[in-house]
Every structure is written in structure tokens, then in C-alpha cells.
Structure 1
Amino acid sequence: MGSGKFPLISKKQLASHNTVDSAWVSLYNRKIYDITEFLDEHPGGPEIIMEHAGKDITKILADPDSHVHSESAYEMLDDGMLIGYLATDEEERELLSKHEGMEVTFDALDAERYDRIPAGADGMRTVDLTDFGEIPDDLLHLKTDASADYKKYKFLDLDKPLIRQVLFAHWTKEFYLDQIHRPRHYGKGSAQLFGNFLEPLSLTPWWVIPILWLPPNMYIFYLGYTHLNPFVFFSMWTIGLFAWTLIEYCLHRFLFHLDTYLPSNQLAFTIHFLMHGVHHYLPMDGMRLVMPPALFLLLATPIYKLVFAIFPYYIACAAFAGGHLGYIIYDLTHYAIHHAKLPAIYSNIKTSHLEHHYKNYKLAFGVTSTFWDRVFGTLCKPKDVYQKRA
């Protein structure tokens, strides 16, 4: 920590910040965090956080019936959201009560630096002080302080193109896998992968999926439906749809998470990062939550050829239409899990997938269903928290 001290804040003031425009929480009844800008980024949705705005969240963060949060969750709070300390009863009596109308002090900040900090609606000036001793230009409520994060972990500088850094680094496999599974929240749109003309190819809005893939799906559906008995058609279509759930599970578990068998070199790390690592590193990046069309074609082509080689043409159309629809549902569900409020019926699916990201990436591989996780014993249980490196 630099020379600046964080402000001392009263319980009354903490309790008053309980709206979507200004949401504060405390941890261990001591540290106070401004999570206002994090509300929309919270994997579980803003509603869950707002139940605890203005209150202490120590118990709920560790509650196994709700969601045992990983080390990364605590790190995110300290990386850019810490704004002060909750005054004890004694401190309120001895310190705050002696300064009528003044609940916060920045006694270690000089006047010039203090004046450069924008005042909030309540007149307070809050700042994220880092180990660098200087106030960042974009100083309010960054999800992850890129400079501080890089200084602490020596992994990736979020403010520079990522692929070049991965390709030319000198990491051990253990270090790489540990770091990409410590989620960061960039907070300024999408972090750059390439930093050049290739950048747009790495960004895929969710709406591209139905616009691009529903028309061919409907055409293949039409071919099968108009040339087969309805019972035969829908039987094969349902089988294809169900088969997708297994394909989804296997791709996620054995290809995207080829972690154990990943070669220990930077080229392998780069391919792994491009395919799935970047999603675990930046799980709330809304432009990298659905599969880029080029990657889908690469993965779907052998499956397409296999289905049409095994079955008669129109039966293959029925099966592939079902499986392809399953993929479309998968991608849209994946986006919704991270960025939309889902009906209660989807709560188990959402919880399972977020536990995969924030609790233990070695479990919970299903996205549209937990069925195969139950079959293969990979459901995430309350105590299944992945132990990260120190």
C-alpha cells in the first residue's frame, strides 16, 4: 500500500449506500467496498448483491447454501473496489464524533492530489490507492486494476494486446493454468487480444448466433421434415438434440479443458488461451461468450460428415438439425448465464456454470444441462473449491 490512507467510514454512512446508484458493502465488518459499477458484471446478477447493499457480506460469501466464493472473489474486491474502513464503535466515538458533518478524511493525501479526485454526488471523494503511489488516470471503480494486477502476478497486462504476451512469455504450465483460472474483470469493454486488424475476428456479439445459424438450421429441418414420416423425423431430431448435450459436455471437458495434457510450451498455451483460456481469464467479456463462426465450422465439420456418413440423407438431416439447434441454444444460454437475469427454473444451471468459473474449473462442464455432470460425477459440491497457488 502506498502512503495514502483509506478513509474511516461510519456504520450509518455504510447503511445509506444501499441503492443501485451507490452500493457499498463491508467485509469482516472492517473493509468497505464500493461495488456500484460491479452490479451488472456480477455473475449471479445484480439482484443478489442488492439484497446485501449497505451491509456486511462476510457470512454470505462463505455460505455453502448460497455459494462458497473462491479466493478470486476476495481478490476482485481488493483490486479496485476497496474505498475505506468501517469505524468501530470506539473509533466513531473518539474520531468521527469530533468532526461534525465530516465522516471521511484523506489525511495522507496532499491538497493537490485530493483536488484531482472527482467528488461524488454525496460530496465524498473515493480513490483506489495502489502500491505505485500514484492515482491512476481512470481511478474510480475499475473491476481489475491492470497495472496492480500485472505487478502482483507478473502474468498479463490487461491494457496491452494479450496474445503477443502469451506467445512470447516464459511461464511454467503450472503458473499459466493457475493464472487463467483466477478471473479478472476488465471493466472497459473487451481487452485486446491481437491489437491489430485481426481484433474484430475475436469479437462475436451474441445476436450473431441466431441470425447466422437459424436460417440454415431451418432449411435442414425442412429437408428432413418434408421427406420423412413425422414420427421418424421427430424421433431422430430429438436424438440429435439430446446427443448435442453429450457433445457439449465432451468438448468442454476434454477439448476446451485439455489442461492436464497441455504441452508445456508457449505455443500450446497460446492455442489454449485462444480457444478457451481467455474466457476463463475474462469470464464477463460479453463479446467472447459465444463461439466465433470460424471455430464452430472447424469443430462442426467432422461431426456433420460423420452424421451424414452413418445415416441416410434425410434421416441425417433430421438428426443434424436437432443437434445444431442444441448448439444454438447452448451458445445463447451461455451468454444469458453470464449477462442476463434467468427464470428460477434455470437457477441450478446458472449456479453450476458459475461455480465452474469461480469455484473449480475442473468440475461442472455442462452448460445447458447438468445431466452429464451427474452421470460422470463432475458436479461441483459445496466444498469443491479449487486451491490456487499462493
Structure 2
Amino acid sequence: MAPSTQQPRAQKRAEVQQRCAAGECLVLVGPRRVYDLTTFVRLHPGGPELLLQRAGTDVSAELDGPPHRHSENARRWLEQYYVGDLDDDDAQQQQQQQEDHSKEQNSSSFPALTKASKMDSRCKAVDEDKELVDWHKPLLWQVGHLGEKYDEWVHQPVDRPIRLFHSDFIESLSKTAWYTVCAVWIPLVLYLSWHSYTLLAKGETWLFSTFTTAYSIRVHKAWFPLLFIVGMCLWSLVEYIIHRFIFHMSPPANNYYLITLHFLLHGQHHKSPFDGSRLVFPPAPSSLVIGFFYVLARVTFPEAFGTSLFVGGLFGYVVYDMIHYYLHYGSPKKGSYLYGLKVYHVKHHFEHQNAGFGITSKFWDHPFQTLIPEETSEKED
């Protein structure tokens, strides 16, 4: 390599090391391509330590595995953090691109790396300003026109916020902070728990009394904890059914409205899985579903019995939403139960969209045969 090329590369390699020493996380893929993963470190399913330990180094071997071979979607995701190459023969183009990129990263203490226009040939183009949709406009009214391209597009995740509606007010209703779920539903859980227990304590709740008095069973107040737990277990089944059969329905390519509905319910989450404002259900739409199950419980069972089951299910829903948020934004300890769930859920998003429908547990994936297969290296570990 000519000295004129070696010198810029040496300078840029030194810049990478400087920025890593300052707390950023830049990595190389191959001898030239540089990626700034600083904003992604805390989201990495393997934990932030794995990335921080490799800051400033070539991670090609880790991408190809073992222990884990990264999917094509993971490689496309990586391309969003590409900041440049370590060498470029056109010095004038380098300077111009450095200035442009510097404007985008005013907080950086070091000059931005040169951004080349050519993308890794192994990856498809990822989210240009107008990829199949216009990202400057609400997406909800556009996705239905994607037709047969929708399924592939929606399952190629990107790291950018999504706007659904034109109206600022309606758009605000489609977003929710994680703590809103606790603030809205936990008080109701506490009230209904007290209400159910109080009714059971009166000793006037009987099962099967509508059909026959000979075999009717008095429900004692001591049943409440058991009914609460049964309600949580029933929710875990409902969670699986909703996720698999409603959220992951396959809308016909020629049906604009079903595609739009799918994107509204769940497609948006798969397209932008780390949009923190859309990881839990907004209270308004979730109240419709919760209200349905409350009425169903009251119609099917005596009031105290049905409400006890319902409140357990409602608490299960709150746990589900909190775990789901944590699986996206948390950093559980390696080897823990939540760490296993996080890795499992990320695989669902990036590689196995038609499997791994359990969020709080893998339990229902076993009997329904939708368990994500473990990699050989994982079994050995």
C-alpha cells in the first residue's frame, strides 16, 4: 500500500482508538469499515459488556460465530451505524464528507470518520429517506400500498422512530411511557383484589349453584390467592394466542385495510423494535380488551369468583408489559431467567418472526410447537 494511503488510515485508526478511550464504542468489520455502536450498546441482547470489550477491534469473527451467527437482519441493523472507512483515495471527497457528518454529530469531540456511499454487498439497502415509504409522512396510511412487499419490509427492523397519524393529538394517544401502565392498572388491581376478597369472605359465593344445589361448592376466602394465580396463568395463554394469531396474522397482499390494521397492532413494533414510546400498550385501546375480559369473567362465573380470576389476569398483563419493555431496554445478568428471555425475544424480532411467541415465558411455545431452536453452541454452553 502506498504511503499516501497508509497515512490517512493510520490517522483514522488512531481516531477510532481515541474515541473508544473517551467512552464511545466504535468497531470494525473487516479491515476498513467502521461502525459507531455507542447508542446501541445498552440495547445489545448479549449485554453491553460484550460490545465494550470489543471496542476498537474487528468483530467480523463474532458476526459469523460461534457462539452465535448473526442473522441477515442483524447485519442490516448494523449498517445503520456505519460511519466510514479507514481509507479513501479521494482526499477532497473525504474532507467534504467529514464536514457533512460533523454537522450531524456536534457533540463528538473528534472529527467524524469519512462516510463512503457504497454499502456492504452482503446487505440490502437499509432505510434511505424514501425506501418503500416516505419516512417524512405518517406511515399508517402508506403501508397498505406495499402489497406483497409488506411482509418482507415490516420484518426488516430499523432504529428510528415511527409516526403513525397526521394528528398530533391522536399520535400522542398511540404512544405510552412504560410507567403509565403501572400508574393506570396497578390501582385497579389493588382495588379489585380487595373487592374480590371481601366478597369471598362473606361466604356467599357458590360454584355450580345455577345448575344444581346438590353439587354446588362454596368458595372460601382462602381460594383467592389460588384464583389470582390461575388468572395469571390464563393470561399467559391469552398473551400467546393474541401474539401468535392476531399480532402475527398474515394479511393478504391485496387487502389494504388488513395490512394497515396489522401494522397498527404490531407491525410497527417489528419495524422499529426499540422505539421506547411504543413498547407497552396505550391505556385507551388496552382498556377495550381488558373490559371485554372483565365482562366475560363476570358473565361466566359468580361475581367474586370471576373477578378474582380477572384481577389475576390483569396483574399478569401488567407483568407482561413490564417484562416486554425490559426485554428491549434492560440489561439482565447473563445466565438469568430474564437474560434468556431477552435473547429469545430478540431472535423472534430479528430471525424467527414465525416462532417464539411467548414473552413472559417460553411455556406455551412447547405444546404449540413454536419454540425457537437453540443453536448448537448455546446447547454446549
TM range (shorter): 0.7 to 0.9
Hey, what's the Cα distance between the residues in 1 that align with 2:94 and 2:272?
36
2 CA distance for matches of 1:201 and 1:310?
Answer: 32
- State the SS of the aligned residue for 2:142: helix
Letter in 1 for 2:194: Y
CA distance 1:124–1:180, shift in 2 (3 Å): same
Structure 1 pair 109/323, CA: closer, same or farther in 2 (3 Å)? same
Once the two structures are TM-superposed, the CA of residue 290 in structure 1 deviates from its matched residue by 0.3
> Structure 1: which 5+ residue stretches go unaligned?
88-103, 133-143, 385-390
Deviation of 1:15 after TM superposition, in Å, equals 5.0
5+ residue gaps in structure 2? Answer: 120-124, 201-219, 377-381
TM-score, length-scaled by structure 1? 0.78
The equivalent position to 2:151 in structure 1, one of 146, 162, 177, is: 177
**CA-CA distance at 1:381 after TM superposition:** 1.7
The answer to whether residue 362 in structure 2 is matched with residue 370 in structure 1 is yes
Per-residue CA distance 1:59-81 (angstroms, 9 max, x = gap)? 2223354x432212212222342
Residue 176 of structure 2 corresponds to: 204
1:26 pairs with one of 20, 25, 28: 28
1:192 counterpart residue number = 163
- Does residue 59 in structure 1 map to residue 34 in structure 2? no
Distance 1:179 1:263, change over 3 A: closer
Alignment match of 2:139 (pick from 125, 147, 162): 162
Partner in structure 2 of residue 315 of structure 1: 305
Alpha carbons of structure 1 residues 14 and 233: separation in structure 2 relative to 1, 3 Å: same
Q: Tell me how far apart the structure 2 counterparts of residues 41 and 158 of structure 1 sit (CA, whole Å).
A: 23
* Partner SS, residue 84 of structure 2: strand
SS class of match (1:375): coil
Write out aligned runs for 1:1-390 (5 A).
8=9, 14=16, 17-19=19-21, 21-63=23-65, 65=67, 67-85=68-86, 107-109=91-93, 114-115=98-99, 117-118=101-102, 123-130=110-117, 146=127, 148=128, 150=130, 154-167=131-144, 169=145, 171-173=146-148, 175-186=149-160, 190-197=161-168, 198-228=170-200, 229-259=220-250, 262=252, 264-343=254-333, 344-382=336-374
- SS for the counterpart of 1:172 is helix
Q: Structure 1 63/210 Cα, relative in aligned 2: closer, same or farther at 3 Å?
A: same
**8 A contact 1:159–1:191 mirrored in 2:** no
For normalisation by structure 2, the TM-score amounts to 0.79
Is this contact kept in 1: 2:97–2:114, CA < 8 A?
no
Displacement of 1:363: 0.7
Local SS of the residue matching 1:33: strand
Deviation, structure 1 residue 121: 5.8
* DSSP-derived class of the 1:25 partner: strand
TM-aligned CA deviation for residue 106 of structure 1: 6.0
Structure 1 pair 115/25, CA: closer, same or farther in 2 (3 Å)? closer
| C-alpha contact 1:25 1:56 (8 A) present in aligned 2 | yes
- RMSD between aligned residues: 2.9
Change in CA separation of 1:298 and 1:122 when aligned onto 2, cut-off 3 Å: closer
Would you say the 8 A contact 1:352–1:379 is kept in 2? no
Conserved 8 A contact 2:28-2:59: yes
Q: Give 1:39's aligned amino acid.
A: V
Residues 125-161 of structure 1, C-alpha deviations (whole Å, 9 max, x = no match): 32434479xxxxxxxxxxx975x263xxx42233322
Closer, same or farther in 2 for the Cα pair 1:15/1:123, shift >3 Å?
closer
Cα distance change, pair 263–75 in 1 and its aligned pair in 2 (3 A): closer
The farther-off stretch of 291-300 and 177-186 is 291-300
CA contact (8 A) 2:143 2:150 kept: no
Secondary structure (helix, strand or coil) at the match of 2:320 reads: helix
Measured in 1, the distance between the counterparts of 2:56 and 2:327 equals 26
Change (3 A) 1:342 1:230: farther
Structure 1 letter corresponding to 2:115: D
Superposed displacement of residue 329, structure 1: 0.4
- Structure 1 residues 149 and 47, CA gap change in structure 2 (3 angstroms): farther
CA distance in 1, matches of 2:339, 2:191: 33
> Which is richer in helix?
2
> 1-side partners of 2:32 and 2:253: how far apart?
44
**Cα gap change, 1:117/1:310 in structure 2, threshold over 3 Å: closer, same or farther?**
closer
